[in-house]
Amino acid sequence: MTHESLSSASHRRRVRQLLAFVFAVFPDPASAHLVSTGLGPAYDGIYHFALTPAQIVPMVILALFAGRRGPAHTRYVIFLLPLAWLAGCAVALPLSSRDATLVPAFTLLLTGGLLASDIALNVIVTSVIAAFAGFILGGVYGAPAGGAAGSVASAGFIFVAMSLCASVSLPLRRLPAIVAVRVAGSWTAALGLLLVGWFVHGRT
Amino acid sequence: MNRISPHLAKLLTVALVMFAVAPGAEGHVMPGEAIGFVSGLKHPISGLDHIIAMVSVGLWGAQLGAPAIWLLPVTFPLIMAVGGFLGLIGVPLPGTEIGIALSGILLGAVVLLEWRPRLYWAAALVGVFGLYHGHAHGAELPPGQDALLYSLGFILATGFLHITGIAIGLIHRWKWGENMLRVAGAGVCACGIYFMWQAVA
């Protein structure tokens, strides 16, 4: 073997070692997967849900509204909405991504309007609204991460989160606290209205 | 057999390493693009004409006391969203800049004079100006990647400007605070006159 070929082989080896080192030190995070916590499908599902404010905000607002209306409304809403959300996940509504943007817009407008107006609804009406909101949010967003286990875990997470939110507004008696909750409702309704505007703006 | 020269081999190695560790390009995110929550949060606080009007609503609400103290900040973001909606869908609103400047003048004047109209008049005045401010924002909104997060930041920033006004307005309970609020109202009014001069010049 000549000196030249030995040098070339040594150089190639050094290049390979350098590249291996570079790839090991500067790995780029994989972006192909939706979310991966590394803790299993249940946590992946919860993580995916928690990263979707379009689902979380209307649910939180609806829980606050149910809390304002009293224990009976709260009980129905916190059980019905996660179940309807699961049913929506199973059905998976066939909406285009463009039309799907209307879902958070109208759910935010509806739930924000309810909370801002502090309207006294019948418990059946509140339950129907909760079931409807849960079903369409689940149907549009669902839980692609984690499969069935992710969906069930997310539904459990929704139940706990909504119970906590309702427990905030349920005991409110002082006017400033009630006003703060209603202001949150008005801001949410405003958010929904702007989203409808975005939707129409994108269409024109 | 043709061999690669050592010099070229080094250059190729450097190029390969740079290619392997290349970070994501961020040069395409332009200022003002509706890329998310933070840009939405920045939008309402990027213009003094908007800031003084929204803070003045809080100041006036604090001067008027309950229920105006919470009704006005509830009314303004909602009507502003209606204005934003109209601006987004392209419905024209004539004299937007004049309306915004007028909001500074009149809201400053009502704080200066501590005017106490009936609640519905106060809500109507605030609502009309909310429409103008919202329309200006809606018409200016750039194409975005995440409308929800942008709008969320936008609404929160507006709301927090009102809360800032209310928080400042709470000094109204003291005599010196009343005077300070009137001085602040005069300042807002002066800014409004300046913006009006700019709008018609």
Of the residues B126, B149, B151, the best mutation for testing chain A's interface (the one with the most A CB atoms within 10 Å of its CB) is: B151
Look up the domain containing A167 and give its range.
41-203
- Give A30's contacts in chain B (Cβ within 8 Å): none
Q: B77-105 pLDDT, tens per residue?
A: 788 888 888 888 888 888 888 888 898 89
pLDDT at res. B125 = 87
In this complex, which of A7, A195, A204 lies closest to B89 when CB atoms are compared? A204
Q: How far is B83 from chain A (nearest CA, A)?
A: 9
ipTM of this complex prediction, to 2 decimal places: 0.70
Residue B74 domain flag: yes
In this complex, which of B81, B144, B149 lies closest to A53 when CB atoms are compared? B149
pLDDT at res. A79 = 92
Residue A134 domain flag: yes
d(CA A169, CA A189): 18
In this complex, which of A19, A190, A204 lies closest to B90 when CB atoms are compared? A204
Higher pLDDT, A179 or B111: B111
Quote the pTM value.
0.73
Q: How far is B194 from chain A (nearest CA, A)?
A: 30
pLDDT at res. A4 = 59
8 Å CB contact of A194 and B138: yes
Chain B: residue whose CA lies nearest to A204? B89
Q: How far is B201 from chain A (nearest CA, A)?
A: 31
Please give the mean pLDDT across all residues of chain B. 81
Contacts of B53 (CB under 8 A, 6+ apart): B100, B103, B104, B107, B129, B133, B188
Contacts of B127 (CB under 8 A, 6+ apart): B75, B76, B79
Residue A125 domain flag: yes
Chain A: residue whose CA lies nearest to B85? A197
Size of the A and B interface in Cβ pairs below 8 Å: 95
d(CA B154, CA B29): 19
Residue A105 domain flag: yes
8 Å CB contact of B84 and A4: no
- Give A182's contacts in chain B (Cβ within 8 Å): 70, 74
Q: B117-169 pLDDT, tens per residue?
A: 888 888 888 888 888 888 887 777 766 557 778 888 888 888 888 888 888 88
Q: How far is A37 from chain B (nearest CA, A)?
A: 23
Asked if A177 is an interface residue toward chain B (Cβ–Cβ < 8 A), one would say no
Query: Buried (b) or exposed (e) across B158-176, using 16+ Cβ within 10 A?
Result: bbbbbbebbebbebbeeee
Residue A89 domain flag: yes
DSSP secondary structure letter of residue A1: -
When pLDDT is cut at 50, 70 and 90, the band that residue B28 belongs to is very low
Please tell me the total count of domains within chain A.
1
Residue A16 domain flag: no
Q: B188-199 pLDDT, tens per residue?
A: 999 989 988 988
Quickly list H helices, B65-174: 68-89, 96-113, 119-140, 147-169
DSSP secondary structure letter of residue B144: B
8 Å CB contact of A190 and B77: yes
8 Å CB contact of B84 and A204: no
Structure tokens at B185: 């109202």
- Give B81's contacts in chain A (Cβ within 8 Å): 189-191, 193-194
- Give B154's contacts in chain A (Cβ within 8 Å): 194
- Give A7's contacts in chain B (Cβ within 8 Å): 6
pLDDT at res. A32 = 47
Residue A123 domain flag: yes
Omega cis (within 30) before B67:
yes
Query: Buried (b) or exposed (e) across A72-89, using 16+ Cβ within 10 A?
Result: ebbebbbebbbbbbbebb
d(CA A185, CA A168): 14
Q: How far is A77 from chain B (nearest CA, A)?
A: 24
Please tell me the total count of domains within chain B.
1
- Give B90's contacts in chain A (Cβ within 8 Å): 201, 204
d(CA A61, CA A111): 6
Look up the domain containing B89 and give its range.
35-200
Residue B111 domain flag: yes
Residue A33 domain flag: no
- Give A183's contacts in chain B (Cβ within 8 Å): 70, 73-74, 159
Q: Residue range B165-179: average pLDDT?
A: 85
Please list the ranges in chain A whose pLDDT falls under 50. Answer: 31-33, 204
Q: Residue range B20-32: average pLDDT?
A: 53
